[in-house]
Amino acid sequence: MNRRYRKTIIAGNWKMNKTITETKEYAAEMREILGKPKWCEAVLLVPPVNLQAGVRAFKDVKISIGTENCHYETSGAFTGECSAEMVKEAGAKYVVLGHSERRAYYNETDMDVNKKIHAALRAGLRPILCVGESLEERELGVTMEKITYQLKCALAGVTPEQVRRIVVAYEPIWAIGTGKTATSAQAAEVCGAIRTLIRKTYGARVARSMSILYGGSMNAKNAAELLSNEDIDGGLIGGASLEPKTFLEIINASNQD
Ligand code: PGA
């Protein structure tokens, strides 16, 4: 983390978990234990159907609410989808885009992610853009090629003013939901390389102020070490965000002096 130049963000990605009732219960428990996060912005990314209830339930809890996907069109015949405008109006501040589960299970391409980034920015959302390599790609030594390609595609046509609203999350696919975390050195290396890429395209100021998160089995035990790296500005946390107490431990790990 480098709190001088950029915001630390601890974001929980609930995926397809929790009903509205469970969302309210989570918020009630958090209200009791959270207090005021000292340094970081805590965020919960919830299923779109939970957005309105979530925003209401977390109103007096210092946690921002977002969602996990949006469509790139404003409206139309896209059964089962939600537009960026819809999730924005339902109360989302952030939206996760390009998550590896969306890419793998719903065939989302890098071009789709680019269109979604533009749609989210137009709607006034803050995209959390996910990039990451598979185990095979890491073993072949093409991690940075893959991430460079994903970033270039996702950010095509995005201006320096717009890119300031984007958060990038490095999520090695082999570490997601597997209990296998990238070592602190592996995570820091890629997050640092992402910042260098941003610097080359958008200049030093933009790169310095961009929050770059690590995701992939981050938990209460490994968070402090990961977050002690200068280039890791927070986490995107799946499994360990589902219980208020464990999520709070990660938030607290970001409060180190
Ligand atoms: P995980 O998920 O923490 O359960 O590995 C992270 C993510 O998919 O964002």
Residue of 69, 214, 236, 247 to test ligand 1 pocket, by largest number of atoms within 8 Å of CB: 236
Closest CA to 231 of 212, 206, 245: 212
pLDDT at 256: 67
Which atom number of ligand 1 is nearest to the Cα of residue 96?
A: 9
Report the SS3 class of residue 144: helix
* DSSP conformation letters of 63-79: EEEEES--BSSSSSS-T
In this prediction, residue 170 carries a pLDDT of 98
| Ligand 1 pocket mutation pick from 100, 171, 180, 242 by most atoms within 8 angstroms of CB | 171
Q: Coil, strand or helix: which one is 96?
A: strand
Neighbouring residues of 208: CB distance < 8 A, sequence distance ≥ 6: 5, 6
- Residue in the structure block whose two tokens are 């404003």: 74
Backbone angles phi, psi at 43, to 5 degrees: -135, 145
Of 97, 211, 204, which Cα lies nearest the Cα of 154?
97
Beta bridge partners of 235: 10, 214
DSSP state string for 166-192? -EEEE--GGGTTTSPPPPHHHHHHHHH
Active site residue 73: no
Active site residue 71: no
Is residue 13 within 6 Å of ligand 1 at its C-beta? yes
Rounded to the nearest whole angstrom, what is the distance from the C-alpha of residue 77 to the centroid of ligand 1? 31
> Residue with structure tokens 């946690």?
63
What is the mean pLDDT, run by run of 10 residues, along the chain of 257 residues? 89 98 98 82 98 96 96 98 98 98 98 98 98 96 98 98 98 89 93 98 97 96 95 97 97 82
- Give CA–CA dist 103/173, Å, rounded: 11
Catalytic residue among 68, 71, 99, 108: 99
